[in-house]
Amino acid sequence: MTTSTELLTSARPGKPLRLSALRCVAYEVALNGWRILRETVNDFSLWRIIEYPWATRVLDLRRGDLVVDIGSGTSSFPHMLAKEGVDVVVLELEKERVRWQLNKRRATARKGDGRFFPLVASATAMPLRSDAVARIAAVSSLEHIPDDVAVGAEIGRALAPGGIAAITLPFTSSERNAFLQASAILSVSDATSLCRKARPVRFPLLYARRYPACLCTARHRRDN
């Protein structure tokens, strides 16, 4: 049986998936109708056409991969990934939002889509085995979770050795900056050009003072 670590470290078949900004907009229209461009239907915003392509790229996704999407809310991102053949676990605390995700899936599912698993659960107590998940996404969701310590530790617990967590969150000078400091097994391995002015806080979050969002990749640290 191939482990998550082996999947991450070995040569992987298939072409890496890419979601361009234009493709994200096309998916939003296909999933939610043209009104998405003139009124708020879900959580779509112009920032999403930066965040979704970035998260897809840094997760190094291919058809058949599994992603746990934390705090999905009413985001279309899990459905975009499923349309590209990725299996997605939608992890959301609010039952109504999970029901929204399930109904959207039922209305838009097509042959060839990846599998879709809506799950009502807290990001601070995920019903996942330790070291079990190779890829985690959290797109503008962690800032809504009051307990930085618990969510950081939980991501570190569930993420497989060598695994990747693609995290985006808004930032201002007054924003909390303790995300993921709780988990000593995580390390930041990459920051995008949006974080050119970023500097590290004590551990391990990078954040940008001059930009309204931060994009960073956390990897499960390997013990030597």
Residue given tokens 């279309």 in the structure block: 76
Which residues is 92 bridged to in the sheet? 120
Rounded distance between C-alpha atoms, residue 204 and residue 165, angstroms: 13
Q: Does domain 16-220 have CATH number 3.40.50.150?
A: yes
Among 36-45, 55-64, 146-155, the least confident range: 36-45
Is 12 within 8 Å of 24 (Cβ atoms)? Answer: no
Helix (H) and strand (E) counts for the chain? Answer: 6, 9
Nearest to 69 by CA among 97, 47, 45: 97
In this structure, are residues 13 and 175 in contact, taking their beta carbons and an 8 Å threshold? no
**Domain parsing of the chain, residue ranges:** 16-220
Give percent of the chain with pLDDT exceeding 70. Answer: 67
Confidence of residue 11 (pLDDT cuts 50, 70, 90): low
Question: Residue holding tokens 């009051």?
Answer: 146
Work out the pLDDT band at 3, boundaries 50, 70, 90: very low
Query: Higher pLDDT residue, 45 or 151?
Result: 151
CA 32 to CA 25: how far, in whole Å? 10
**What whole-number distance in Å separates Cα of residue 59 and Cα of residue 23?**
18
Per-residue model confidence as pLDDT tens digits over 169-196:
765 555 555 554 544 444 444 433 333 3
Structure tokens at 51: 């965040």
The alpha-carbon radius of gyration of the chain (Å, integer) is 17
83 versus 217: which is more confidently predicted? Answer: 83
Torsion angle of the four alpha carbons 171, 123, 57, 18, in this order, in degrees rounded to the nearest 10: -110
Region 147-173 average pLDDT: 80
Q: What Å distances lie between residue 115 and 90, 103, 157, 207, 222, CA to CA?
A: 11, 14, 24, 33, 30
- Is pLDDT at 206 greater than 70 in this prediction? no
Residue with the larger pLDDT of the pair 175 and 104: 104
Give the confidence band of 165 by pLDDT, cuts at 50, 70, 90.
confident
Task: State how far the Cα of 175 lies from the Cα of 146, in Å rounded to an integer.
Answer: 12
Phi, psi (degrees; rounded to nearest 5) at 220: -70, 125
What mean pLDDT do residues 79-99 have? Answer: 96
| pLDDT tens digit sequence for 26-54 | 998 898 888 777 776 666 677 788 889 98
Condensed to tens digits (0 to 9), the pLDDT of residues 69-86 reads 999 888 999 999 999 999
| pLDDT at 89 > cutoff 80 | yes
Residue 180 has a pLDDT of 46
